[in-house]
Chain A
Amino acid sequence: MSGNNVQKAAERAHYPLFIPFIMAGDPDQETTVDLALKLEEAGAHILELGIPYSDPLADGPLLQRSASRALQSGMSLRRALELIPVMRERGLTIPVIAFTYYNPVLQMGEQHFFDQIKENGGDGALIPDLPYEESRDIHRLAGERGLVNISLAAPTSGNRIEKIAAEAEGFLYCVSSLGVTGTRDNFPPEAYSFIEKVKRNSSVPVAAGFGISNPSQVKSLEGVCDGVIVGSAIMKKVEENLERLQNPEEKSSALDAVKSFVSSLISS
């Protein structure tokens, strides 16, 4: 089962297994590559490369804005995957997972999608609007290429948790709270018992996501699960530094601002 790079990286990591999400193309391709490298420098273990979509059902306003900026900059699923070899050339070694809604995958063709991930040096996919009932073929296509398809469990999953955990590969993404992506100051108390339940059922590492934005949240999950996924909080930093990221003179200090935020989460 752990023949894949994602699971190896997840199993090797000490708490917190840290999985950042960045939106490809926000604000431009070059910055996406720079950010990926900074995140690895800061200690990230696995990268989620977000593909912008016109109708992101699971995302809050922050990632919606990020996706529209990225689409505006001309980003697409194909172009995003082509950024992976550029990242690799510049020294990125951690596994990369393409995070995309299902419709762009359907248009590209499921088989071609996984071929493209493989050819470009990616390691797997995460499709948030594809529940496990619909993902049998996707799991198979990923597996045949030594890639992973990441499964999600939600607080409302109830007795679905066991079935979801049984199919999980790489790591299991635990949606910490109801609702869409975005930053939250704290989790509802029942989140911890839910995440613990997922952890008990899972044979792969478990990472919690949705709303994680500060070091104390990361700390509070130690001993509950193996790590965290952080997206909106990072893209919020990007949004705050949009102009500086696009200004050659200020770019490097803007990238360092993102990096030091991420470092503070990891070292919490």
Chain B
Amino acid sequence: MKTMYPDEKGRYGNFGGKFVPETLMYALEELEEALDEAMQDPAFVDEYHRTLREYAGRPTALTYAERITKHFGGASIYLKREDLLHTGAHKLNNAIGQALLAGRMGKKKIVAETGAGQHGVATATVCAAMGLECKVFMGEEDTRRQELNVFRMELLGAEVVPVTSGSKTLKDATNEAIRYWVANVEDTFYLIGSVVGPHPYPRMVRDFQRIIGDETKEQMAEKTGKLPDAVAACVGGGSNAIGMFHPFLEDDVKLFGAEAAGEGTHTEKHAATINKGTKGVIHGSLTYLIQDENGQIIEPYSISAGLDYPGIGPEHAHLAESGRVTYTGVTDKEALDALTLLTKKEGILPAVETAHALHLAFQQAAEMSKEQTIVICLSGRGDKDVHSIKEFMEREA
């Protein structure tokens, strides 16, 4: 019964909902109707799964990380390899689902926001593959930090619009994408990149990402004959984490979310939304967010552009409040140490976002017994981050 949410108002316990200008209400109602209808239609569900299989490369592997397991001497560590998905991160699962839905709704224009560029690349990719027009809003600051991804999106035929309002990062790119959508709502589909935004977005993105957890459950049963004892994922907006967690919510499995603690939660430079945030509304959803006492949103900080978001998906806010999932802050330094270790021991270079989950999971594994297992959602590969990893290491040295 616990997962009988969201309710008809899009609430997850005390969180979620639709806090948007009236202009968008009709579009959200239309989206919800089309989504419910599509999810009931076996032809749509088949096409989604076929595209994941034949285009994106699902199922992704589940790798037993033997050398890392030995290194910590505790629980057996498994990696769910979303880094092996086409375009290099879990973001494509969701982009495929939403783009298919847009096509079904007869909308040929797609608008999206992106921070690090991973969701922008995933969106530009499916738009190229499906012949849709694609416009991606990206903070001007991020277009500089992630120059290569900008070029990648442009190669794929997308228009990248640098956003100069506010702090010129992901939060502002999201504002601008929503503003654009308000003005073009009649022929444009807003393809959001995480389990954030107004209802039904958090539910839709979760349902397009839960394939991660569904496959993990099956693969663990094949490999070990049972459920894992624990599962860990990093949390920006929260899409890879909810995709991994959701199928396990009602099982006896410990769930760990790693949020970005930047330079430490005792400093002002972090993105630890659940641990340091307070209740409020951001991008149409009631959730935890980083804000001042007057309700003005504060720009977060993390070395990883993908976790650098002042809010968090409303379902995570609910799971934190109910205590079902434990969310812990992981600093830049802890994440990069874990990243280096995985790369050296397993020959897998993870994204810096993912590295936050690695640190948390390694700590847990070390305290667990040898008979136990823990699965980490390896949400993406780290090729995009090589430059910032190098900079960080040179600064630390």
The reply to whether B294 and A157 form a contact with Cβ atoms under 8 Å apart is no
- Residue interface bits A32-65, CB-to-B below 8 A is 1, else 0: 0000000000000000000001110110110010
Tell me which residues across on chain B come within 8 A of A180, comparing CB atoms.
179, 182-183
Q: A103-B282, A131-B18, A156-B27 are in contact. Are A57 and B175 (CB under 8 A)?
A: yes
Most buried by B among A71, A130, A164: A130
The reply to whether A156 and B179 form a contact with Cβ atoms under 8 Å apart is no
- A85 in contact (CB, < 8 A): no
- B22 in contact (CB, < 8 A): yes
Q: A153-B22, A156-B25, A157-B26 are in contact. Are A55 and B166 (CB under 8 A)?
A: yes
- A78 in contact (CB, < 8 A): yes
- B272 in contact (CB, < 8 A): no
The reply to whether B294 and A76 form a contact with Cβ atoms under 8 Å apart is yes
Tell me which residues across on chain B come within 8 A of A121, comparing CB atoms.
none
- Residue interface bits B250-281, CB-to-A below 8 A is 1, else 0: 00000000000000000000000000001111
Q: A107-B293, A108-B295 are in contact. Are A175 and B175 (CB under 8 A)?
A: no
Tell me the smallest distance from the CB of B276 to a CB of chain A, in Å. 15
Kindly identify which residue among B184, B278, B279 contacts A178, using a CB–CB cutoff of 8 Å: B184
The reply to whether B281 and A106 form a contact with Cβ atoms under 8 Å apart is yes
The reply to whether B166 and A54 form a contact with Cβ atoms under 8 Å apart is yes
> A54–B282 Cα gap in the complex (Å)?
11
Kindly identify which residue among A60, A77, A129, A133 contacts B21, using a CB–CB cutoff of 8 Å: A129
- Residue interface bits A149-192, CB-to-B below 8 A is 1, else 0: 00011111110100010000000000100111000000000000
- A134 in contact (CB, < 8 A): yes
Which secondary structure dominates chain B's binding surface? mixed
- Residue interface bits B159-198, CB-to-A below 8 A is 1, else 0: 0000001100001100100110011111000000000000
- Residue interface bits B21-58, CB-to-A below 8 A is 1, else 0: 11111110000000000000000000000000000000
Kindly identify which residue among B184, B185, B186, B280 contacts A103, using a CB–CB cutoff of 8 Å: B280
> A107–B184 Cα gap in the complex (Å)?
32
- B220 in contact (CB, < 8 A): no
Kindly identify which residue among B19, B24, B27, B283 contacts A134, using a CB–CB cutoff of 8 Å: B19
- B144 in contact (CB, < 8 A): no
The reply to whether B184 and A58 form a contact with Cβ atoms under 8 Å apart is no
Kindly identify which residue among A61, A107, A178 contacts B23, using a CB–CB cutoff of 8 Å: A178
Tell me the smallest distance from the CB of A100 to a CB of chain B, in Å. 9
Interface residues in B10-25 (C-beta closer than 8 Å to A): 17-25
Closest to A79 in B: B294
Tell me which residues across on chain A come within 8 A of B25, comparing CB atoms.
131, 154, 156-157, 160
- B103 in contact (CB, < 8 A): no
Q: A156-B185, A178-B183, A179-B183 are in contact. Are A55 and B23 (CB under 8 A)?
A: no
Interface residues in A121-161 (C-beta closer than 8 Å to B): 128-134, 152-158, 160
Tell me which residues across on chain B come within 8 A of A215, comparing CB atoms.
none
Tell me which residues across on chain A come within 8 A of B344, comparing CB atoms.
none
- B291 in contact (CB, < 8 A): yes
Tell me the smallest distance from the CB of B131 to a CB of chain A, in Å. 26
Tell me which residues across on chain B come within 8 A of A78, comparing CB atoms.
294
Q: A156-B27, A179-B183 are in contact. Are A106 and B22 (CB under 8 A)?
A: no
Closest to B26 in A: A156
Tell me which residues across on chain A come within 8 A of B172, comparing CB atoms.
55
Q: Beyond the given A157-B22, A175-B21, could you list 19 further A-B residue pairs with CB under 8 A, ordered by the A residue number? A: A55-B166, A55-B282, A55-B297, A58-B23, A61-B165, A77-B294, A103-B295, A106-B281, A107-B291, A107-B294, A128-B22, A129-B19, A129-B281, A154-B23, A154-B25, A156-B25, A160-B22, A160-B25, A179-B183
Residues on B close to A: CB < 8 A? 9, 17-27, 165-166, 171-172, 175, 178-179, 182-186, 278-284, 291, 293-297
30 A-B contacts (beta carbon < 8 Å): A54-B296, A55-B282, A57-B175, A57-B182, A57-B283, A58-B21, A61-B165, A64-B165, A77-B294, A77-B295, A78-B294, A102-B19, A103-B297, A106-B281, A107-B295, A129-B284, A131-B21, A134-B9, A134-B17, A154-B22, A154-B23, A156-B27, A157-B25, A158-B26, A160-B26, A178-B23, A178-B183, A178-B185, A179-B179, A180-B183
